[in-house]
Amino acid sequence: MAKEISKLNDSRIELAYQVETGDPEESSIQFATTNVAARRQGAHAADVDFTQASCKRAHWADQYAGQRCIPAQAYIENGWNIGCTNCAVTVSSDSYHQDEDGDTDKPHEPVYRGEDLFCSAECELLHDAEVASYNAKGEAFKARVTQERPDLEFTVFRCGWPHITMVGEFKFPGCQYGGSVRDQEGDGTIQWYVAGGDVTAWLAYEKEGQATVHQAKAKYNWKHDWAESAQAVRPRDRLPRGVKRAPLTKPYGLITDEMPLYARS
């Protein structure tokens, strides 16, 4: 007990507070050294004015100060409601599955996974399958764009779970900012962009780099891919070898600060 009191008197120790607004969905646990600080953090998190938030101690959560998350199970055991990570149905310690008529039948038997909770083992499986599907699409996107343009230096990819829009950022010799390649809707339509300030550098690079591109294609077995998916190849690449095509001089449209180069699906 003496130890507990000295801990409470140490103003550097962060304690758990439950911050509430008018909306139960915005309630949160905040870790802070004072009630006022916790209330300010909670109000900020809920995007409400400080005066609209109330704050009280949540002793049960003190043990999670400094940790990455509070486990979903701890929330449920302390009377909170949490949405299923997969289907968003609300789960609490006494919630039930509902059938289509709104009748309740059997109690939820939640599956806990860190800060995630699933209302049933089936929901956990569905979620895992969806994550796997997103990740597979992400890997396919990476493979496709790096095969399509092996000459570019891809620096960052944002794809795979939970990204719907898949993005790869790239640099090319002579660029200042670089460009990006995107599958905006995750439907296989790929668009290439280059920063507005790099359009001239890009056109010069493309004009100059035909030999390099051909070499790079050979390295990545491009021909095989090309033959198998003629529809999925940039129009300029369908030109017979030796036929020159004028470089793209008028990028169409404008998205943020980047110029789209070409689109295809």
| Chosen residue from 119, 201, 259, 261 binding Zn ion by CB under 5 A | 119
Distance in angstroms (rounded) separating the CA atoms of residues 190 and 164 = 13
123 binds Zn ion (CB under 5 A): yes
CA-to-CA distance for 81 and 25, rounded, in angstroms? 9
At a CB cut-off of 8 Å and minimum separation 6, what does 187 contact? 265
CB of 123 to Zn ion, least distance (A): 3
Residues in 206-225 at the binding interface with Zn ion, rule: CB under 5 A:
none
Q: Residue 128 Cβ, how far from Zn ion at the closest point, in Å?
A: 12
Number of residues that bind Zn ion (CB under 5 A): 5
Q: Are 265 and 188 in contact (CB under 8 A)?
A: yes
Cβ of residue 78: shortest distance to Zn ion, in angstroms? 21
Options 100-108, 115-123, 175-183, 209-217: segment touching Zn ion (CB under 5 A): 115-123
Give the nearer residue to Zn ion in terms of CB position, either 65 or 126: 126
Interface with Zn ion in residues 80-99 (CB under 5 A): 84, 86-87
At residue 98, the 3 state secondary structure works out as strand
Minimum CB distance to Zn ion smaller for 41 or for 85: 85
Instruction: Report the residue number, 88 or 254, with the smaller CB distance to Zn ion.
Output: 88
Which window, 29-37, 117-125, 140-148, 227-235, contacts Zn ion (CB under 5 A)? 117-125
Nearest-angstrom CA–CA distance, 171 and 177: 7
Asked whether position 126 contacts Zn ion by CB under 5 A, the answer is: no
Give which of 200, 159, 207, 160 is closest to 179, Cα–Cα.
200
Is residue 230 classed exposed, middle or buried when 0-12, 13-18 and 19+ CB atoms within 10 A define those classes? exposed
CB of residue 84 vs Zn ion: minimum separation in angstroms? 3
Cβ proximity to Zn ion, 90 vs 165, nearer residue? 90
116 in Cβ contact with 123 (< 8 Å): no
**Under 8 Å between Cβ of 8 and 19:** no
Q: Are 177 and 200 in contact (CB under 8 A)?
A: no
For position 180 contacting Zn ion by CB under 5 A, the verdict is: no
Which CA distances in Å does 240 have to 163, 237, 264? 37, 8, 19
Q: How far is the CB of 88 from Zn ion (least distance, A)?
A: 7
CB of residue 136 to Zn ion, shortest distance in Å = 22
- Name the site residues for Zn ion (rule: CB under 5 A): 84, 86-87, 119, 123
